[in-house]
Structure 1
């Protein structure tokens, strides 16, 4: 029990991110995307390069959405019955 609580506490603390850390992560992601688009042959400051950056961002957003849906679908049902449909006593 103590180990579980300690692990939970560490996860909560690790999930707290300051605005500066968020900005640094976003800048690092933009830099990585720019490098990927350049590696693919797009030249910076062109419409095609901008489209490449946008497409990478869209892909990342879709992947995050898919992960969120997967997490929601793998949650156990609540203690009072199934998640979908009428309660079990009906």
Structure 2
């Protein structure tokens, strides 16, 4: 019973830790925009020009594509086990019963 309580409290902590407030999300977005601006300036684009805006847009597109790729990899990764007990799901090696 103690294990169940510990697991439940740990799960509740992780769920609450994953939550972010709108202010934190806005601060994260502002920091990302600032980093993108600095990167475009470092690459030689002048702030306020169309090329600078295209550079920022391209960086956002690259970031979105990376997130999509990671999501696809997570979706295609098989689970770490074949089922709750041996023989439940087809297994590449037959389950032997002695």
* TM-score, with structure 2 as normaliser: 0.70
Distance 1:37 1:78, change over 3 A: farther
Question: Paired residue for 1:26?
Answer: 29
Are residues 69 and 3 of structure 1, via their aligned partners in 2, closer, same or farther at CA, if it must alter by over 3 Å? farther
The aligned residue for residue 13 of structure 1 is 16
How far is the alpha carbon of 1:47 from its aligned partner? 0.5
Distance in structure 2 (CA, Å) of the matches to 1:12 and 1:26 = 22
Match of 1:49 in 2: 52
Moved over 2 A (4+): 1-11, 75-82
Unpaired runs of at least 5, structure 1: 83-90
TM-score by length of 1: 0.76
The aligned length equals: 82
Provide closer, same or farther for how the CA distance between residues 50 and 78 of structure 1 changes in structure 2, counting only shifts above 3 A: farther
Cα RMSD after superposing both structures: 2.3
* Distance in 1 (alpha carbons) for counterparts of 2:6 and 2:70: 27
Is the radius of gyration larger for structure 1 or structure 2? 2
